[in-house]
Structure 1
Amino acid sequence: MARILIADDDPDYLAAFCDGMRALGHRVTGVQQGSEVVPTLRTTQYDIVFLDVLMRGGGAITLIHAVRACDPDIPVIIITGNSEIIESAVFEQGLRQAQAKVTKTASLVDLERLIRQFAH
């Protein structure tokens, strides 16, 4: 069982992602704004963080550096609803510190595989 922080500004996706992870036995905290990520990391220790590429209050490019400042070893997985972003050279450069990048269409099985591979 992993302790997971998920940051995504789409409330429906966030609720479904959190519910799916809880159904798999994980402890999950979901936040809807990038500005909530660092304060949340400062109050609770997490095994892995999922960050949406684009969201209010800061997206993954900005946040990955802030997450690393809080915990340089925490695995970060980037999520996006736009598969072209994952392939974009601009985003690729800014997101090199992420362990993986996935689209929001990834199955729970695929997400669980990433958690098992990277969570500490």
Structure 2
Amino acid sequence: MARILLAEDDDNLRPFLARSLENAGHEVLAFSDGDEALPALHAAEFDILISDLVMPGMNGIELARHAREKAPDLPVIFITGFSAVAMEALNTVDGVSKVLSKPFHLNSLVEAVRNALEDRALS
């Protein structure tokens, strides 16, 4: 289905997110923060970026800006436990498909990916 770049600093949550997306048929490359994900972003093509907003080092907004410079039509899904940061993200990064507030059901993430990919295909 899709090749997904996942950046999530929570070591307990990241494997669950990746496994849920893989079980839905996607290929997932998962990283613990934006700094770790950035080289992979530049080295390969991805169909979607899923990133936590608040991470040590490079945050999700910065990572999304790098991603959108490389691929302007790349869908971005943010996940966060901070609603105020989520509102900022919606106003500062073009192409944000969805912001999921933690905690969220894993099916919500799979559905958000499906919707973002469908929207991209229609563009």
| Fold in common (TM above 0.5) | yes
Are 2:49 and 2:64, in contact at CA under 8 Å, matched by a contact in 1?
no
Structure 1: unaligned runs, 5 residues or longer: none
2:60 is the alignment partner of 1:60:
yes
Counterpart in 2 of 1:44?
44
Which ranges of 4 or more aligned residues in structure 1 deviate by more than 4 Å? none
Using the alignment, how far apart are the partners of 2:78 and 2:36 within structure 1?
A: 16
> Does structure 2 conserve the Cα–Cα contact (< 8 Å) formed by 1:38 and 1:70?
no
Query: Are 1:111 and 2:116 an aligned pair?
Result: no
Scaled by the length of structure 2, the TM-score of the pair is 0.83
CA drift of 1:96 comes to 4.8
Distance (Å, rounded) in 2 between the aligned partners of 1:63 and 1:108:
22
Over residues 42-69 of structure 1, what are the superposed CA-to-partner deviations in whole Å (9 max), with x where a residue is unaligned? 2221111101111022112222211111
The percentage of counterpart residues that share the same residue type is 31
**Matched residue type, 1:69:** E
How many residues align structurally?
118
**Correspondence for 2:22:** 22
In angstroms, what is the RMSD of aligned CA positions?
1.8
Structure 2 segments unaligned to the other structure (5+ residues): none
